Chains A and B, each alone.
Chain A
Amino acid sequence: MLSVKELHVYYEAFTLSGISLEVPQGKIVTLIGANGAGKSTTLRAIVGLVRPRSGSIKLGGQEVAGRPTHWLIQQGITMVPEGRRIFPNLTVQENLEIGAYYRTDRAGIERDLAWVYSLFPRLQERRRQKGGTLSGGEQQMLAIGRALMSRPRLLALDEPSLGLAPLLVKEVFRVLREINDQGTTILLVEQNARAALQLADYGYVMETGQIVLEGTGRDLLGNERVRRAYLGE
């Protein structure tokens, strides 16, 4: 579904050098790595928030590198950005509605709204509240729900478990599983390497702007280097 080849991004003090990765239809793929490895930069380049210097990004066979973000989203990619970024001055319900902004199928939007509320009942209770008044965990749920409202074919998430209590982390991973079971392809960036690799079909390990390892979730969980550097063993 998504195929990234030889992606290069240059910042003053950082280079993303030749990232290649595949996210097959219906799968969960994870990208793990230490702080500053370039995970967010990779995601941001995929959704067009950062312009890659060179490289190819194909979505369903179509070259999309350099296209504007709003167009990419309309093609069915969505990203839950790092740090949630919910709209504090919009109500919970509006935050969800703006996720479906470019859609015109009213009935479908209503159905998805009900679906998101069933995934996160707590959001329904708070739907008239301003987004900014939610707790961190609730904001993360809202950010995921908002992304789902665009009916993405590919959902990218940038550290959805960051800063959440263990119970909520479990909850988020359970929801990701459920979303994937319903047919959404997932590209997950995580610091919580163990949970991510357990969930994912395939994983990539990033260090200082490069992919240094890849394999099935199971393989990486068993890999000596991964165990030492990312699983704390």
Chain B
Amino acid sequence: MTLETLVQQLMNGISLGSLYALIAIGYTMVYGILRLINFAHGDVFMVGAYTAFYLVSFFLLPWWAVVPLTLLAAALLGMFIDRVAYRPLRQEPRISALITAVGVSFFLETLGIVVLGARPKGFTEYIPGLFARVYDLAGIKIPGVAVWVPLLSLACLGLLLYIIYNTKVGMAMRAVATDIETVRLMGVNVDRIISYTFALGSALAAAGGIMWAFKFWQIQPLMGIYPGWKAFTAAVVGGIGNITGAMLGGFIIGLAEIMAVAFFPDFSGYRDAFVFAILIAFLLVKPTGILGESLKEKV
């Protein structure tokens, strides 16, 4: 492998990883608070990509308007899913909400196929110039997506960390993750905090969806399934419930996936299996993940 391909593959892995990181946040935050694996999260990512697609291709809006509108729409969708599907089951055994999550996921996917059509939609002509151009780094050619996707993702992740660690709502989110009942005793409307958590996670997933479309040039209704599972893997590898862990896990999974393909091109057909092998290995060796706390704190 030449230096050029190595650098290119590294950048490729980092940008893919940053997208996994963006999606993984939503899984880990919801799990941290509700002990729920929100299977519909990958589909919110898909809805985000489609929302941006229609805003830019049908409503002909400029990207500076498309992005905030898309994030807002995804945030509302996330809150809506929580409100109608999960909140009514909050007092029920956890398995009920888990099964409902699978149902919501199937629902969004089938609805997507029926309403949006199963055929992929091409994104190529709408990709902003910044992402479409190719940079020349000391003779090494680097596509714009490999530069801007990680940078923008990091900006999103930084903003999220700021919200979590420096705002009142963020403080309540951290508190809810350890002791819901006592947060109620603080006069906090916990349902609202949970709602905001879904909103944040969904907005990040939508940001990931948009950039996914920039990177892979097309979108389709089932596009959320594999990225969703891999982001979930990232969340588990990082230590589910831990936000920094999810970010770290995202980059690890993205890099591992790309490097596996780069070094063993003959086995590139097994790249998805490879990621899930990492998941299983991790669950066996360190079930709490890299930054995961022991679960006893979170009774």
Contact = CB atoms under 8 A, between A and B. Distances in A.
A90 B189 CA distance: 18
Contact of A89 (B178, B182, B190): B178
B32 to A, nearest CB: 11
Given A97-B171, A98-B175, A74 B185 contact: no
A47 interface: yes
B184 A70 contact: yes
Most chain A Cβ neighbours within 10 Å, of B182, B187, B297: B187
B174 interface: yes
Interface in B175-197: 175, 177-179, 181-190
B171 A102 contact: no
Interface residues of A, number: 24
Interface in B282-299: 297
B172 A81 contact: no
Residue of B177, B181, B184 with highest tally of chain A CB at under 10 A: B184
B190 A87 contact: no
Contacts of B189: 68, 70
A33 interface: no
Given A85-B179, A87-B179, A89-B178, A150 B171 contact: no
* Size class of the contact patch on chain B: 10 to 19
Interface string A4-37: 0000000000000000000000000000000000
Contact of B174 (A78, A81, A89): A89
Contacts of B119: none
Contact of B172 (A74, A88, A101, A150): A101
B181 A49 contact: yes
A73 B183 CA distance: 11
Contacts of A69: 184-185
A49 B182 CA distance: 10
Interface of B: 168, 171-172, 174-175, 177-179, 181-190, 297
Given A49-B181, A101-B186, A150-B187, 6 more contacts: A49-B184, A68-B184, A73-B185, A85-B179, A101-B172, A101-B188
